[in-house]
């Protein structure tokens, strides 16, 4: 299965997407991790991405797409993958769909973790990092909403968006994810 995982800061997206990848025995691909690694190794892409990343901006679509498509072309992705952090914008989603269409392997699903704003504020503010005061956190969540809602519309229009209730314990949330994925597997056996 080819799955895109979306979720706001503090919703447990990293943890749940890693767990899902282990469950499905497919690679977990975090674009943040891939780009940080490229920066560390000072590759051509890493050098170009470093400035945007250092100032909290998004890296250009072109660069991210290059990193992701190169990674997805590796043999271990043939059986599927979980993407964490890509696509982040509609142009990225569009470029991704065109790339997938050429290879005849469309996305199986876009999963979005949904957590109540108040609960996210509580969770993030209680992490205790200095910059995590309530207003900073609220601002991060607003930015996430602004950026992500067109992406969610995009996948909704393509009928592959599945909302997952992200409240409760990690096991409860993972149980809901497994249920959705099991339904998808019966619909589209691969
Ligand atoms: P993350 O670990 O997902 O928060 O990503 C860390 C940083 O990597 C972000 O702040 C961006 O600068 C960059 N990044 C990760 N994924 C993308 C993406 N899909 N598009 C643009 N920039 C990205």
pLDDT digits (tens, 9 = 90+) for 8-24: 988 999 999 999 999 99
Tens-digit pLDDT profile for residues 65-76: 999 999 999 999
For the chain, what is the domain count? 1
Q: CATH no. for residue 57?
A: 3.40.50.300
Quick check: 151 and 6 in contact, CB under 8 A?
yes
In testing the pocket of ligand 1, which one of 28, 33, 35, 113 has its CB within 8 Å of the most ligand atoms? 35
C-alpha count within 13 angstroms, C-beta hemisphere, residue 1: 26
188 in a domain, yes or no? no
Quote the domain boundaries for residue 137. 2-178
55 in a domain, yes or no? yes
Gap between the Cα atoms of 63 and 12, Å rounded: 26
Query: Which run of H or E residues covers position 167?
Result: none
Gap between the Cα atoms of 127 and 92, Å rounded: 31
187 in a domain, yes or no? no
Q: What is the pLDDT of residue 84?
A: 98
Atom number of ligand 1 nearest to Cα 57: 12
Q: How far is the CA of 12 from the centre of ligand 1 (A)?
A: 16
Q: What is the pLDDT of residue 111?
A: 98
Rounded to two decimals, the pTM is 0.93
Does the beta carbon of 86 lie inside 6 Å of ligand 1?
yes
185 in a domain, yes or no? no
144 in a domain, yes or no? yes
Q: How far is the CA of 32 from the centre of ligand 1 (A)?
A: 5
| Regions in the chain scoring below 70 on pLDDT | 128-132, 188-190
């Amino acid at each position: 299965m080819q799955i895109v995982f979306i979720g706001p800061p503090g919703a447990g997206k990293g943890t749940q997407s890693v767990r899902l990848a282990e469950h499905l025995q497919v690679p977990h691909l975090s674009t943040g991790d891939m780009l940080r690694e490229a920066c560390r190794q000072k590759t051509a892409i890493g050098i170009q991405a470093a400035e945007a990343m250092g100032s909290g901006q998004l890296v250009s679509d072109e660069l991210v797409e290059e990193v992701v498509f190169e990674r997805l072309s590796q043999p271990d992705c043939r059986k599927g993958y979980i993407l964490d952090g890509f696509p982040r914008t509609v142009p990225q989603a569009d470029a991704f769909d065109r790339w997938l269409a050429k290879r005849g392997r469309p996305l199986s699903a876009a999963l979005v973790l949904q957590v109540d704003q108040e609960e996210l504020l509580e969770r993030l503010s209680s992490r205790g990092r200095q910059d995590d005061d309530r207003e900073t956190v609220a601002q991060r969540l607003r930015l996430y909403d602004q950026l992500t809602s067109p992406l969610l519309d995009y996948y909704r229009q393509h009928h592959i968006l599945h909302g997952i209730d992200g409240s409760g314990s990690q096991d409860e949330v993972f149980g809901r994810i497994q249920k959705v994925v099991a339904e998808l597997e019966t619909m589209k056996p691969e």
